[in-house]
């Protein structure tokens, strides 16, 4: 007996053994044991990897591959069964020999593989002779998709003058075919348009600079890139993409003045800050690379200044100091322009600056005469006789020193007739005496043709006013006053004159009242004086009033004196004076009224109040 016959007998015994069990559960359990026994046998399916090509169209099923058990004796006893994805519809199997066929057109891009299960059973026992096994049928790709640029059209920017080989951007195409099989999805990039300025790496799609380019010559390029599948072989599909490449600016151009020489004019009457003119430099760059600053060189006079207009990029020349045609008629300055931001990579190509000459002519203006001083201050003593010299004003014509100047006074109403001026030489004189106490200053305006000057004339003081009481003084004394009693403490004086050292007044009784006066004067040495009684007891019936002549002396040069009268009224009182009663009592007594009448009058007055 050979090995194959022995193996068949063993298998038959294993299959008949469960029939000896008495219950259904034992039968099920023995079935599991029988299956386990089969799995322990070293047997296996025999098949090669299975593939089905996509997009195939056929009226008959197309062979894919064959499943085969090593127990298949080719005697028709085994039956092959196929289950899983597409089993019975997309895929069928010949149950006699295990050959698998595809019956429908496949699309790998929709489904790239199918998972199926195979089983071999014995036709005689209807039991499996092989365990169910899972396998995969892969859909084999064909080149049925064109490449696509999903992100196009592209826009890229690269600095101008970038060196050869500089990366600009990368374009990427996709292909729906299987990249793991064949060359269907293997892309090759090439340049259709853009030579000789750009190149593209065939495998990566990276676009690079092929030469240095100047933005000022051309600032934009249109590049066309082609992507071919099948590594560019014949029959390959292709797609193109456009790439707009802009050259960004760098500061590789210096500013240049439009003119090498500018001519400008300025009037000598122009005020400081006047715009004289503009200079302009061109820069082929743009943006901040074209920003520039202007300055002035070789202008020792410091008469002019230049500022930069950041909006127009112009240099504006301004007047920094007033100019005078008679002093200097022409100026020559050098203006300089320099880029605000320098790219040091290009410094070797020369300085990024430029210079130009600006010639400025000063225009003459018909200028009025100019006084030697803006304001004149003159002095004259008060009381000076008419025709006295006050002072001289002088003006000259800046256009012509020999041109005659005519002077005149602009008279105000309050100054009319006080001063006159010589129209030829500017001499000012008085036309009548001046009184400082009326006006200590006189302000007049003198014109020299069209020009005016202020003249301030101070009238100097002369001690021509004697001091006098500062107000009307009256004082009172009681009938029973004793000698040395104060009648009044402080009388003061005023003087209309000025005193450089300050006024100082001296008070005393006049000479004619010194010997027989009932009162004395005490000088307080502070420009005030006090009045004191010189005897005891006064009688109203004898004398109601005393009139004291007070002599006041000033410290002027020469000193002046005046006599002022102080009235002292005698009152009917002991110590304190009722000035109202006393004043009216004296008034009534002077009118001849008795004391009783006086009392009645006062009572009426009080009632009315």
With beta carbons less than 8 A apart as the criterion, state whether 442 and 418 touch.
yes
Spatial distance between the Cα atoms of 361 and 364, rounded to a whole number of angstroms: 10
Q: Residues with Cβ < 8 Å from 166, sequence gap 6 or more?
A: 158, 208, 209
pLDDT (0 to 100) of residue 31: 33
For the chain, the C-alpha Rg in angstroms (whole number) is: 67
With beta carbons less than 8 A apart as the criterion, state whether 436 and 459 touch.
yes
With beta carbons less than 8 A apart as the criterion, state whether 194 and 224 touch.
yes
Spatial distance between the Cα atoms of 163 and 250, rounded to a whole number of angstroms: 13
φ, ψ for residue 198, nearest 5 deg: -135, 160
Q: Do strands 407-410 and 441-448 pair parallel, antiparallel, or not at all (unpaired)?
A: antiparallel
Within 495-544, strands assigned E span 506-509, 519-523, 528-533
Residue reference for tokens 């022995």? 6
Q: Which helix (H) or strand (E) holds 31?
A: helix 24-40
Q: Residues with Cβ < 8 Å from 514, sequence gap 6 or more?
A: none
Residues in a beta bridge with 360: 264, 331
Residue 86 — left, alpha, or beta (φ > 0 → left; ψ -120 to 50 → alpha)? left
Instruction: Please write down the HEC assignment for all residues of 326-389.
Output: CCCCEEEEEEEEEECCCCHHHHHHCCCEEEEEEEEEEECCCCCCEECCCEEEEEEECCCCCCCE
Spatial distance between the Cα atoms of 305 and 319, rounded to a whole number of angstroms: 6
Spatial distance between the Cα atoms of 435 and 416, rounded to a whole number of angstroms: 15
Nearest to 48 by CA among 138, 181, 141: 138
Provide the token pair at 426.
């500017």
Q: Residues with Cβ < 8 Å from 23, sequence gap 6 or more?
A: none
Name the stretches of the chain with pLDDT < 50.
1-43
Spatial distance between the Cα atoms of 82 and 103, rounded to a whole number of angstroms: 14
DSSP-assigned letter for residue 184: T
CA distances from 298 to 64, 211, 332, 334 (A): 96, 44, 9, 6
Nearest to 113 by CA among 137, 135, 143, 93: 137
With beta carbons less than 8 A apart as the criterion, state whether 314 and 278 touch.
yes
Spatial distance between the Cα atoms of 45 and 119, rounded to a whole number of angstroms: 9
* Residue 25, SS3 per DSSP: helix
Spatial distance between the Cα atoms of 50 and 139, rounded to a whole number of angstroms: 9
Q: For 190-197, which contacts have Cβ atoms below 8 Å and span 24 or more sequence positions? A: 190/225, 190/226, 190/228, 190/232, 191/223, 191/224, 191/225, 191/226, 192/224, 192/225, 192/226, 192/240, 193/222, 193/223, 193/224, 194/221, 194/222, 194/223, 194/224, 194/243, 194/245, 197/221
Instruction: Please write down the HEC assignment for all residues of 288-333.
Output: HHHCEEEEEECCCCCCEEEEEECCCCEEEEEECCCCCCCCCCEEEE
Provide the token pair at 257.
């003045």
* Residue 55, SS3 per DSSP: coil
The pTM of the full predicted model, rounded to 2 decimals, is 0.46
Provide the token pair at 407.
């002077």
What domains can be seen in the chain, in order of their start residue?
40-140 (2.60.40.60), 154-248 (2.60.40.60), 256-363 (2.60.40.60), 370-460 (2.60.40.60), 468-577 (2.60.40.60)
pLDDT (0 to 100) of residue 230: 84
Residue reference for tokens 């085969």? 68
pLDDT (0 to 100) of residue 579: 61
Peptide bond into 36 cis (omega under 30): no
Within 417-485, strands assigned E span 419-421, 427-430, 441-448, 451-460, 468-469, 474-478
First to last CA, the chain: 176
Spatial distance between the Cα atoms of 99 and 140, rounded to a whole number of angstroms: 18
pLDDT (0 to 100) of residue 17: 40
């Amino acid at each position: 007996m050979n090995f194959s016959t022995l193996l068949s007998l063993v298998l038959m015994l294993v299959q008949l053994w469960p029939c000896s069990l008495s219950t259904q559960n034992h039968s099920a359990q023995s079935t599991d044991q029988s299956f386990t026994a089969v799995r322990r046998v070293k047997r296996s399916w025999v098949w090669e990897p299975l593939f089905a090509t996509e997009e195939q169209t056929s009226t008959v099923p197309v062979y894919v591959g064959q499943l085969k058990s090593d127990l298949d004796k080719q005697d028709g006893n085994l039956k092959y069964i196929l289950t899983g994805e597409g089993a019975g519809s997309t895929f069928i199997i010949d149950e006699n020999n295990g050959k698998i066929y595809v019956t429908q057109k496949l699309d790998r891009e929709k489904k790239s593989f199918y998972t199926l299960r195979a089983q071999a059973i014995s036709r005689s026992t209807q039991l499996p002779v092989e365990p169910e096994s899972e396998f995969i049928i892969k859909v084999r790709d064909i080149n049925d998709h064109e490449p696509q640029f999903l992100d196009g059209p592209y826009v890229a920017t690269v600095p101008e003058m970038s060196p050869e080989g500089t990366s600009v951007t990368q374009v990427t195409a996709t292909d729906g075919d299987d990249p793991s099989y064949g060359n269907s999805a293997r892309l090759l990039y090439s340049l259709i348009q853009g030579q000789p300025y750009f190149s593209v790496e065939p495998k990566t799609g990276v676009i690079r600079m092929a030469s240095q380019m100047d933005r000022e010559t051309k600032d934009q390029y249109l590049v066309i890139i082609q992507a071919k599948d099948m590594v560019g072989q014949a029959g390959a599909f292709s797609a193109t993409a456009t790439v707009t490449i802009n050259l960004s600016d760098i500061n590789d151009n210096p500013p240049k003045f439009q003119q090498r020489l500018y001519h400008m004019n300025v009037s000598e009457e122009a005020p400081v800050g006047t715009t004289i003119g503009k200079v302009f430099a061109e820069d082929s760059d743009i943006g901040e690379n074209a920003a520039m600053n202007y300055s002035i060189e070789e202008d020792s006079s410091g008469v002019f200044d230049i500022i930069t207009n950041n909006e127009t990029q112009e240099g504006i020349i301004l007047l920094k100091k007033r100019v005078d045609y008679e002093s200097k008629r022409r100026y020559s300055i050098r203006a300089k322009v320099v880029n605000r931001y320098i790219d040091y990579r290009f410094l070797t190509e020369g300085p990024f600056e430029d210079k130009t000459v600006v010639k400025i002519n000063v225009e003459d203006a018909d200028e009025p005469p100019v006084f030697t001083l803006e304001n004149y201050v003159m002095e004259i003593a008060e009381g000076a006789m008419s025709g006295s010299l006050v002072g001289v004003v002088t003006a000259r014509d800046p256009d012509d020193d020999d041109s005659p100047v005519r002077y005149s006074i602009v008279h105000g109403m309050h100054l009319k007739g006080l001063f006159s001026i010589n129209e030829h030489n500017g001499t000012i004189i008085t036309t009548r005496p001046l009184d400082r106490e009326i006006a200590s200053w006189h302000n007049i305006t003198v014109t020299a043709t069209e020009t005016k000057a202020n003249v301030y004339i101070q009238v100097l003081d002369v001690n021509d006013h004697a001091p006098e009481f500062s107000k009307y003084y009256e004082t009172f004394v009681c009938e029973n006053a004793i000698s040395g009693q104060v009648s009044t403490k402080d009388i003061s004086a005023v003087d209309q004159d000025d005193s450089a050292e300050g006024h100082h007044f001296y008070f005393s009784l006049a000479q004619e009242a010194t010997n027989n006066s009932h009162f004395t004067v005490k000088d307080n040495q502070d420009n005030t004086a006090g009045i004191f009684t010189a005897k005891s007891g006064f009688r109203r019936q004898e004398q109601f009033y005393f009139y004291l002549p007070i002599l006041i002396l000033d410290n002027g040069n020469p000193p002046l004196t005046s006599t002022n009268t102080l009235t002292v009224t005698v009152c009917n009182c002991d110590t304190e004076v009722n000035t109202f009663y006393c004043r009216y009592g004296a008034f009534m007594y002077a009118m001849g009224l008795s004391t009783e009448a006086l009392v009645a009058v006062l009572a009426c007055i009080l009632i009315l109040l």
